[in-house]
Amino acid sequence: MFSHLIRPSDASPVGVAFTDREGGFSVGSLASLNLGRTDVDDPALLERNGRAVSDELGLDTLVALHQVHGTEVLTVDRAFLAGWGPTHWLGETAGLPPLPVADAAVTALPGVALMIRVADCVPVLLADPDAGVVGGAHAGRVGFDQGVLAATVEAMRGLGATAITAWIGPHVCGDCYEVPSAMADDVESRNPGTAATTRWGSPSLDLGIGCERQLLRLGVRVERRDPCTLTTSSLHSHRRDGAGAGRQAGIIWRVS
């Protein structure tokens, strides 16, 4: 169920989890632990998947976003939670209110789990355990290039974070993320070191390195827990499975 998991402890009252595709209830190409694709998956199965993750992690509240490859950061405060229920992360297709449109979220509230859903994009989870501030960002190529990580760090610092650690989760790696040469050069011009070469010799982008370098420049400590989604069969991958791909998630929370 988890490709990487740090359970909260007295030393670190923050939990960090990156899910995989195992241990859920979805079927077909979405099997089995799909936490996205609410437009095509059965809402009842999605709800069971979310409940399985919440039960395993001891969570009550999962907050999800309508991710659009932008830089908007949602601050989850008590006013936001007043209109949020335990299944609201399922969104409109389950007959619930629309999800907030954003590609990152931050909170200083205990007991709130922020969920970033991906197939090949980079999920980045961040925390300052001493300040009690956590965040999560969806760093696809466009959002990464436009500054979603800087926006997330700024929002966390606005809530009092100072010493931030980031965990970079599973995503398509530089050996596999083939892009047109002009695109690689364009991204490289703003993010030196991000351009790479696939294992078959064509231009690519290494967003893991790109995210790491951006975060280090922002004064953030970085840990990488990032197997390649395309070559790891236990992870969902849009590049491998196309329109049939499910979604895994990065989840971060502060203990209540």
DSSP letter string over 203-217? EEE-HHHHHHHHHHH
Mean pLDDT (the chain, rounded): 97
Would you tell me how many other CB atoms lie within 10 Å of the CB of residue 1?
18
* Strand 14-19, strand 122-128: pairing: unpaired
pLDDT of residue 93: 87
Q: Looking at the DSSP assignment, which residues form a beta bridge with residue 178? A: 204
Task: Give the predicted TM-score (pTM) of the model.
Answer: 0.98
Among all chains, which residue has been given the structure tokens 């491998």? 240
Q: 155-184 burial, b for 16+ CB within 10 Å, e for fewer?
A: bbbebebeebbbbbbbbbbbbbbbbeeebb
Give the residue among 177, 186, 151 at the shortest CA–CA distance from 73: 151
Span 33-79, pLDDT tens digits: 999 999 999 999 999 999 999 999 999 999 999 999 999 999 999 99
Cα of first residue to Cα of last residue in the chain, in angstroms, is 23
Please report the pLDDT score of residue 10 as a whole number.
Answer: 79
**Which pLDDT tens digits describe the chain residue by residue (256 residues)?**
999 999 998 778 999 999 999 999 999 999 999 999 999 999 999 999 999 999 999 999 999 999 999 999 999 999 999 999 999 999 998 899 999 999 999 999 999 999 999 999 999 999 999 999 999 999 999 999 999 999 999 999 999 999 999 999 999 999 999 999 999 999 999 999 999 999 999 999 999 999 999 999 999 999 999 999 999 999 999 999 999 999 999 999 999 7
Distance of alpha carbon 49 from alpha carbon 38, whole angstroms:
12
